[in-house]
Amino acid sequence: MLYRFEEIFDISQIRELAQRFSDLVGITAAIIGVDGTIWAKCNWQEICENFHRKHPVTHQRCIESDICLPPKYFKDSLTDTIIYRCQNGLMEAAAPIRIQGEHIANLYMGQFLLQPPDIAFFMQQARDFGFDETAYIQALLKVPVFSEDKVKSVTDYFSKLAIVIGEMGLSQVRLNQANEHLKKSEQRYRLVVENSASAIMVVQNDTIVFANRKIIDGFGSNQNIFQFIHPEDQASFRAFLDQTRQGASDAPLEGTRIVNDPQKTRWVQTNAVAMDWQGSQALLLHMTDITSQKEAEKAMRKAQLELANSQKMEAIANLATGVAHDFNNFAQIIGTNVELLLAAEDKTSPIYGKLKEIELAVIKTSELTQRLLMFREDQPGCRQSVDINQLIDQVAHSLRALLPSSIDFDLSLQADCKVKDGDPVQLFQIFMNLLLNAKDAMPDGGTIHIETRNFIATPSYAANRPNLRPGEYIQVRVLDEGPGLSDQDLIHLFEPFYTSKQPGQGTGLGLTTVYNFVKNHSGHITCGNNAEKGACISIMLPATRVDHQIIRFPIGGHETILLVDDDPYILHRGREYLHSYGYTVLEAQSGEEAYEIYCQRRDDIRLVIMDLIMPGMGGEKCIGELLGIDPDAKILVASAYLTENFIHNRDIRDKIKGFVAKPYIKGRLLQAIRKAITSDQKQLCL
């Protein structure tokens, strides 16, 4: 607003004028600023003072009528004066007070009626709000009744009078301002120069002969200007000064580095003009600090690079998942036929060994394609509020028993960090991969630092970060004490199959899986190096304030599990994995061996994980035999090639506790085991 109401009007005078006017015409008057400030109010009606303004609901109606309604009507009305019905049933009139077209206040007239009151309406209103009906109606009858023309005439007169007074006050204000400006012009000039955030100086023969405070504090006077110019920029700065002296150019010089502070280099934009200084030629220089702009440009280039990388990841994901879908179909056909051939082939046959090699290759291929398929498909799972601190603590607890003693964890977890709509399995895998990656970066040992905090991404913060929306997030930072990331690592870190590890030490899919799981959670991930040492991966996941469900990620148990598979590789890998989570694992390479072990150890065995396609008895028949001797046996079926009716016997299919697809997704295998052991209900396919 150019002028404030109190600057233009003599408030005491306007209040006296309003009071006399109200007394003369017998109607309530008020002047209220556009910001809601009441500058004058006169002769409020008894019904408003003693009733409407006393009850909280009717009082709120009064405020809304005075502040909210008139602007709406002014917008829709073709005239300056409007008459409207307030929310408590009385009539009011309002006219805008404008000074040179600027709306600075409103003149209100009321409360009045345009016709005799509707007694029934006001009686009901008195009952609704608990008013004394007799006193309320007596106050109502004191409200004056005016014609609409009279109200408009009176309001127009008063608003025009206010404008005339305002114009007179405005003229005086401008006159006073002009005089004040004239008196202070020289003082303002000196204040501007001396207190300018920019450096202003006069340079003569490369020497600073005049400088404002900014220069004296930063450079000092009587100094050679070139001692503060970065060596690489001195040639361009010299050419700029020469061109200015010759009048060859008046364009500013962009991007000169100033090195007056040994600890920091700053960027400036320099404008120059030739001038006379004490009878000799000189240059007036104006240097503006553009360091923030340069840093913003650098941040923008980084954001553009992130966007390009994101788009590249999208393209790679499309390609990878397309190939994976087709490749998985081929692998399934090969694997199914290999299992059938193995079932029919004698184990002593040379062909049997070759078939086992093919089967192992198919399993490893299936594992690879499963990870590739994660790039585009949001993996199924329970979405719920997840306490991220609890989850990280569980991941660290799980790894402590597996990692060497030279690796330590430092957890700095802010309270109340809950992720919205989280999949515990995917989140567990995210932090498992990150911590293992940090461990690999420190072959000689060190500390992995994990930090969490609540973070608000403002619109300005999100603007420079592609795919990040403003809002509340949980920020998780994983920092190691390794050598850090190279420039190539920073560009390609999340790409499939990119790895800086030695051949055979990694597939290059761990961080790609992290990237895609974070994306599945509408999150954001960045990588960089610490200021001191090591790499830093920062993740932001959408936060929630609702009470979270306690997530007990299935980190293991102490029960005995019978693992049945004709492949020694699968048995070995499964035994080691389940053993690392506390389980005791018994192994069987055939249905016959499984039946024999179960008969001997049935009181100890809490769960059987059964492969279906095996030579000899086979998985389905073995399940039937086990249920025959123990109808309460808990059995999970495992196979890489499950179909809807893979188990032909419906009675057997209805009694098993669930299906687990091979290759095992570790988190889901643990989850399926816990559900099968702790529940008597049939579980869904995992």
Q: Backbone phi, then psi, for 138, in 5-degree steps?
A: -60, -40
Token readout for 200 is: 């202003």
Across the beta sheet with 471-479, what order do the strands follow?
407-413, 446-457, 471-479, 535-542, 524-529
Q: Backbone phi, then psi, for 391, in 5-degree steps?
A: -65, -45
Q: What percent of the chain has pLDDT over 90?
A: 21
Q: Which residue has the higher pLDDT, 294 or 401?
A: 294
Q: What is the mean pLDDT of residues 353-368?
A: 77
Which residue blocks in 230-290 are alpha helix, DSSP H? 234-245
pLDDT at 160 over 90: no
Give the C-alpha separation, 686 to 680, whole Å.
17
The whole-number pLDDT of residue 125 equals 95
Q: What is the mean pLDDT of residues 491-512?
A: 63
The whole-number pLDDT of residue 379 equals 47
Query: pLDDT tens-digit profile of 489-498?
Result: 777 677 766 6
pLDDT at 18 over 90: no
The whole-number pLDDT of residue 69 equals 55
Beta bridge partners of 95: 107
Domain map (residue ranges) of the chain: 5-174, 199-289, 310-373, 384-542, 560-678
Query: pLDDT tens-digit profile of 619-638?
Result: 889 999 999 999 999 999 88
The whole-number pLDDT of residue 454 equals 93
The whole-number pLDDT of residue 539 equals 93
Q: Which residue has the higher pLDDT, 405 or 74?
A: 405
Q: What is the mean pLDDT of residues 181-198?
A: 72
Give the C-alpha separation, 679 to 246, whole Å.
91
Q: List the one residue out of 203, 178, 200 whose CA is nearest residue 191.
A: 200
Q: What is the mean pLDDT of residues 399-412?
A: 85
Query: pLDDT tens-digit profile of 49-92?
Result: 899 989 999 999 988 877 665 555 565 554 567 888 889 999 98
Residue 614 makes CB contacts below 8 A (sequence gap 6+) with: 343, 564, 565, 566, 589, 590, 591, 622
Q: Which residue has the higher pLDDT, 400 or 111?
A: 111
Q: What type of residue sits at position 617?
A: M
DSSP-assigned states of every residue in 511-547: HHHHHHHHHHTT-EEEEEE-SSSSEEEEEEEEB--SP
Token readout for 480 is: 């190691």
CA-angle at 189, arms to 5 and 212, nearest 5°: 130
The whole-number pLDDT of residue 684 equals 36
Confidence of residue 615 (pLDDT cuts 50, 70, 90): confident
CA-angle at 646, arms to 666 and 343, nearest 5°: 85
Residue 52 makes CB contacts below 8 A (sequence gap 6+) with: 58, 59, 61, 62, 88
The whole-number pLDDT of residue 580 equals 78
Residue 606 three-state SS = strand
Q: What is the mean pLDDT of residues 2-21?
A: 81
**Fold: same for 5-174 and 199-289:** yes
The whole-number pLDDT of residue 216 equals 52
The whole-number pLDDT of residue 669 equals 78
Q: List the one residue out of 80, 43, 77, 90 whose CA is nearest residue 156.
A: 80
Give the C-alpha separation, 92 to 86, whole Å.
7
Whether the CB-CB separation of 563 and 585 falls below 8 Å is answered with yes
The whole-number pLDDT of residue 380 equals 47
Task: Report the CATH architecture of 5-174.
Answer: 2-Layer Sandwich (3.30)
Residue 617 three-state SS = coil
Whether the CB-CB separation of 647 and 618 falls below 8 Å is answered with no
> What value does the mean pLDDT of the chain take?
80
Alpha carbons within 13 angstroms on the beta-carbon side of residue 180 total: 6
The whole-number pLDDT of residue 26 equals 79
Q: List the one residue out of 653, 645, 658, 656 whose CA is nearest residue 685.
A: 658
Q: Which residue has the higher pLDDT, 477 or 315?
A: 477
Give the C-alpha separation, 539 to 392, whole Å.
13
Q: Is 346 left (phi over 0), alpha (psi -120 to 50) or beta?
A: beta
The whole-number pLDDT of residue 665 equals 56
Confidence of residue 133 (pLDDT cuts 50, 70, 90): very high
DSSP-assigned states of every residue in 411-450: EEE-S--EEEEE-HHHHHHHHHHHHHHHHHT-TT-EEEEE
The whole-number pLDDT of residue 594 equals 93
Does the domain at residues 560-678 carry the CATH identifier 3.20.20.70?
A: no
Most confident of 167-181, 478-492, 602-616, 668-682: 602-616
What's the N-to-C CA distance of the chain in angstroms?
65
Q: 278: which DSSP letter?
A: T
The whole-number pLDDT of residue 645 equals 58
Torsion of CA 112, 114, 115, 121, to 10 degrees: -60
How many other C-beta atoms can be found within 10 angstroms of the C-beta atom of residue 90? 22
Give the C-alpha separation, 137 to 120, whole Å.
10
Kindly give the pairing relationship between strand 38-42 and strand 407-413: unpaired
Q: What is the mean pLDDT of residues 650-679?
A: 77
Give the C-alpha separation, 215 to 284, whole Å.
13
Alpha carbons within 13 angstroms on the beta-carbon side of residue 478 total: 24
The whole-number pLDDT of residue 47 equals 94
The whole-number pLDDT of residue 258 equals 85
Token readout for 177 is: 């301002």
Q: Is the dihedral of CA 608, 610, 616, 617 positive or negative?
A: positive
Give the C-alpha separation, 465 to 539, whole Å.
13
How many other C-beta atoms can be found within 10 angstroms of the C-beta atom of residue 648? 8
pLDDT at 241 over 70: yes
Q: Which residue has the higher pLDDT, 289 or 493?
A: 289
Q: Which residue has the higher pLDDT, 578 or 262?
A: 578
Whether the CB-CB separation of 578 and 608 falls below 8 Å is answered with no
pLDDT at 39 over 50: yes
Q: Which residue has the higher pLDDT, 191 or 372?
A: 191
pLDDT at 422 over 60: yes
CATH top class, domain 199-289 = alpha beta
Task: Report the CATH architecture of 384-542.
Answer: 2-Layer Sandwich (3.30)
The whole-number pLDDT of residue 522 equals 86
